Structure formats: structure tokens, C-alpha cells
Amino acid sequence: MADSSSLASGAALAGLRVVDLSRVLAGPLCAQMLADHGATVIKVEPPGGDETRQFGPPFDALGHAAYFGALNRGKRSIGLDLSRPAGRRVLEQMLQGADVLIENFLPGTMEKWGLGYETVLAPRHPRLIYCGISGFGADGPLGGMPGYDAVLQAMCGVMSINGTPESGPLRVGIPVVDFLTGYNAMVGVLLAHAARERSGRGQRVEATLFDTGLSMLLPHAANWMASGQTPQRMGSAHPNLSPYDRFHGSDGELFLGVVNDGQFRRFCECVARPDLASDPRFTDNPGRLAHRSALRAEIEKILAGYSVADLCQQLMRRGVPAGPVNSVPQAFAQAHTAHRAMAVDHDGHKSLGLPVKLSANPGKPGDRPPKFSEHADSILTELGHSRAQIDALRAEGAVLGPKA
């Protein structure tokens, strides 16, 4: 790990060395976020490459699926067949200088290869932080089972509260369980790193889609625990707040997010209906919830006469949260998107910006996503392999992909 003086002048994770064995979403996202803040990340891919390389179209100019490109910038790639002893020996060489290992194989895979954390890697590499990501963990009734985002959305109740009474349960339109699992994994790695600064020892970090899916059920799980009533699908409405919903304006849709009585009074003043704020049915949030349908009908009639963009600006200036319901292109066309640097074009690769911004140690988006095993020869050379040894590893099939 870099010393404090180097960190003060560079990225927050400068000097952190990460070996990323993961594929698809949660693990690669975790590793990419670490890379964005200065970590050196080597992506170890199986013989066929990360599956997301084929999650297209669309594909970019270099032939990468856009999906893969969104999760793997700032990394170097080497293709290893870890089912072969020679491939595992190369991985062990990488781990000698690594701080973090990230993997999302089915539980038991690393043990099958003789690379279990507790029995093998921890004794050999006591400072290593081992991050294992899985669907359900290694034990328990579902231990070792495969897990994918939409399946976990279904199993953990997320789909049950998404949609309308008429639509039935719906998958959230982004892989939200995978995505948050990646963030949880990153937080776990950073917590373990902080603990290692005190103890000098690494530890296992576990992040599962199952735990993440259940943890997302706020406030629905808390409401059920307190009331015993099963949460229902409410479209865009909120179970505890009103008006907190999507409404139609004269030229589009907006979302109105009122969370307290003061905001409701200011909303009523802005739309020239102060009488609504003094209506006994609507003076406080419990009353507005009890008379939700009547209040919605009143607001729909009012907003039909307002332009969405103009009304949202007026409401926001008065401290009432409101925003237009934008498409993805419209969201990225907003001036504030550019101001917050949330759309970047780096080295010819267009991607999302960094959602976490540090004042003293700002991160930056890394180089374009790597081609499959693009850096194999340079990585092996850094590990001390000669040209003849590298050729032998390729001939054996332990190392795959293009030569440098």
C-alpha cells in the first residue's frame, strides 16, 4: 500500500493491488470502482472470456459489448485456465503481491482448485483481503446455489412491490440487486482494508445477492414487521408519503416528491390552490395518506394546466422536490449531467462518470476496457517469466488470448 504522502497527492487507493477473477456484473463493478480511485486491477478471465463481452449488440468500435465496457475500464486483462495447475501457479504468483482478490465463482470452486481462503490462501498470504461474491453464500438451505439478479429480485420480494395492481410483479428495469451487491462488496473490501491497517491481517469479505436483495426492502420490510400487512404494488406511489407520485402535466409527466407539511403548503401556493393545504383531509401526512385518491384527483386536475419543465423549476426554487420524467437520452442531455461530469469520453470510450467524488483525492475513469488477455505477456513478464516460459504456458493452454 502506498504511504500517506503519495496518497495525499494522488488517488485515494493508489498502490492498492487487486486481482479480479469475477465476471458479469457485481464483482467487475466492485473492481472497476476500486480502479476508478487508483487501484491497480488485473482482470483474470476464463478461457472463453467474461460472458459480458458477448452481451450485445450494441458493440463498440473495438468489438466490446457496451455491457462489458460499462464494467471493466481501467483494468488489465489476462486469460488463464485455472482448471490447469500451471494456470493456478500463475495466479498464486499474482497473489504474492496483491492486496485484494475478488471472485464470484460458485461456492466451493476455489476449494476444488486447492485455493480455498481459510485452508490455503490465508496461511500463504496473511495480508490478503479475499472478497467472495455469490448468490446465497456457501451454506444454509440455499448455500452454493447459482444466483442471478432477476431471480433474486423475485425471491427477495423486490418484484412483488414493483409495478401496479394491474401489471402484476415486475422486474426493476436495472439489475439493481447485482448493482448494489457490487457496492456492498466494495464497502466490505474497504472496511477490511481499514481493519488490516490496525491488525496487519486480511480477512474474508462476503457479499451475496440474497442478503442484498432483502436489505433493499426499505421501508416495505419495516412496514410489514410493524403492521403485519403485506406490502402491495403501488406503481410510482410511496406507501408512507403523499403526494409522492408521478403525475401528468400539459406536455409530459413529472414526479412530485412531497415529504413534509411545509413542502405541501408551498406546493399548494405555487399552483394557486392554498385551499388544499387548509383542507382538513390534507393538513398532515397521515390525513393525506388516508385520502390519497381524493388528493391525487385534485392534483391531476391542477397539473393538467402546467408545462412540466416550467412547473418543476418553480417548485424546486420553492424547495419542493419535483422533476420531469426523462428518457435516458433526456437524462444525459441535462446541463447538470455535464456539470457533475457524469458522462465521460476517455480514450475514445464513452462511459458513466464517478458517482463518488473526493475533494483531496479525486478519482478518474480509467483507460478503455481491455481486449481479452490483452496484457498477458506484460503481466507474465512482470512476474518474472522469460519469453520461453510464456510460450510454454501458452502452448500448454494455461495462458490464453492474443500475444503482446
**DSSP-assigned beta bridge partners for residue 334:** none
Task: Name the stretches of the chain with pLDDT < 70.
Answer: 1-9, 403-404
Which domains occur in the chain, in start order?
A: 4-216+344-400 (3.40.50.10540), 244-248+253-324 (3.30.1540.10)
Neighbouring residues of 105: CB distance < 8 A, sequence distance ≥ 6: 21, 134
Each residue's pLDDT tens digit, 190-223? 999 999 999 999 999 999 999 999 999 999 999 9
C-alpha span between 357 and 12 (Å, rounded): 11
Write the CA distances from 27 to 9, 102, 113, 138, integer angstroms: 28, 7, 20, 17
- Go through 334-345 and write b for each residue having 16 or more CB atoms within 10 A of its CB, e for each that does not: eeeeeeeeeeee
C-alpha span between 124 and 145 (Å, rounded): 29
**The pTM is what?**
0.92
For residue 230, give the amino acid letter. T
Q: What is the pLDDT of residue 349?
A: 85
Q: What is the pLDDT of residue 92?
A: 97
Residue of 178, 261, 284, 377 with catalytic role = 178
Task: Report CA 381 to chain centroid distance, whole Å.
Answer: 33
Q: What is the pLDDT of residue 403?
A: 64
Provide the pairing of β-strand 17-20 with 100-103.
parallel
Write the CA distances from 228 to 111, 120, 231, integer angstroms: 43, 47, 9
The verdict on whether 367 is a catalytic residue reads: no
364 closest CA partner among 344, 383, 381, 350? 344
Write the CA distances from 353 to 52, 73, 230, 314, integer angstroms: 20, 11, 38, 29
In what helix (H) or strand (E) does residue 79 lie, and over which residues does it extend?
A: strand 75-80
Q: What is the pLDDT of residue 9?
A: 44
